[in-house]
Structure 1
């Protein structure tokens, strides 16, 4: 189990490094530019590489949790998050100004799925009273709050109100979701690494 967790953290760490490198080299405005736009930069290949590493890290941590008897819903949600991360990287969004394509649609809804399932997994772990539950609860609340801010502009546009990312801090809110959810994943892994589940019967599979 320890090997799975260490490998998972390594994948997440390398993925984070790739993402930071992409941001540094692209030179876009992180306040308004969403992460998907970085795919169109010269170093854009780092985006799917980073997301794939996040997916691998999540799968490894999920497997470690499965082996310790953690609730199967938590394991499934972590795997769903990883699968969504992979789809986000495999199906790039559309360039600005173009109508929504199949690839862009998969990208968009996979991102929404990923943003939603990780806080749910985290709250299930909080309910099970794992180590770092208090910090995880805070991160889940921040992730859900940021997700609401991400969704609001899409709802506004559905009513025909023109709103561009330059009018709102779209990049900031999206990054807040990603950072907090990576934090939830990291705490989940750390709780297993310490192997110290307080309410262990509550997280065992039925």
Structure 2
């Protein structure tokens, strides 16, 4: 009984920390879009372009808090499928690396700029894959939120493809808009998972460790 109460208290604590991380992520991201230069075009420039104008500022901090919220989610949930644990860990690591490794203005990237880009790509591929894996391997854990998670995974994939097309063959047309939609759906997807972390169902149900 005591161990169960301790486990419940720890889960609630880390769930609360995940919510704090997400709230800070949203707040810092919004401030980061306004603070560096109000004349930057959010439709044409990516969040990383904004980070260049505010190196080490709120945009980088937002990436750190987003990664930290994923780690808090992992600490709150002890019965996730192993694949989901790995993918959420990869997402967190990608966010930390992207925040630490400086990017470059324009399209010509240095070594650290390439590291920033690929860390971001890996992170935002890993998060929806984690959500997709949970819908397939642990639907009982998601409960009524499973439909939302599926929809958010699909939306994230669509915006990811849109950003890829824009940045490769689309002459970066509306690349900033596509990325911001991708980031928004990613934050909402994480919020959906954190919401379920606060449900007793996560504790009562054992998921397949695969």
CA spacing shift, 1:36–1:126, aligned 2, 3 Å: same
Shift in Å, 1:177 = 1.1
SS for the counterpart of 1:40 is helix
SS for the counterpart of 1:94 is coil
- Corresponding residue to 1:24 among 23, 34, 41: 34
Q: Structure 1 CA distance, aligned partners of 2:147 and 2:82?
A: 22
SS for the counterpart of 2:201 is coil
> C-alpha root-mean-square deviation of aligned residues, in Å?
2.0
- Counterpart of 1:102 in structure 2 is 111
Is residue 151 from structure 1 mapped to residue 164 from structure 2 by the alignment?
Answer: yes
Residue pairs, 1:48-67, within 5 angstroms: 48-65=60-77, 67=78
Aligned length: 194
Instruction: Tell me the TM-score normalised to structure 2 length.
Output: 0.85
- Counterpart of 1:194 in structure 2 is 199
Greater than 3 Å deviation, 4+ residue runs:
197-201
Q: Structure 2 CA distance, aligned partners of 1:115 and 1:84?
A: 8
Shift in Å, 1:199 = 9.8
Q: Structure 1 CA distance, aligned partners of 2:112 and 2:200?
A: 41
Is residue 136 from structure 1 mapped to residue 149 from structure 2 by the alignment?
Answer: yes
- Counterpart of 1:204 in structure 2 is 208
Q: Structure 1 CA distance, aligned partners of 2:166 and 2:204?
A: 40
- Corresponding residue to 1:113 among 114, 122, 126: 122
The answer on whether the counterparts of 1:91 and 1:107 sit within 8 Å (CA) in structure 2 is yes
Q: Structure 1 CA distance, aligned partners of 2:192 and 2:50?
A: 28
Shift in Å, 1:153 = 3.4
Structure 1, unpaired ranges of 5+: 157-162
- Corresponding residue to 1:40 among 17, 28, 52: 52
The answer on whether the counterparts of 1:22 and 1:43 sit within 8 Å (CA) in structure 2 is no
Instruction: Tell me the TM-score normalised to structure 1 length.
Output: 0.87
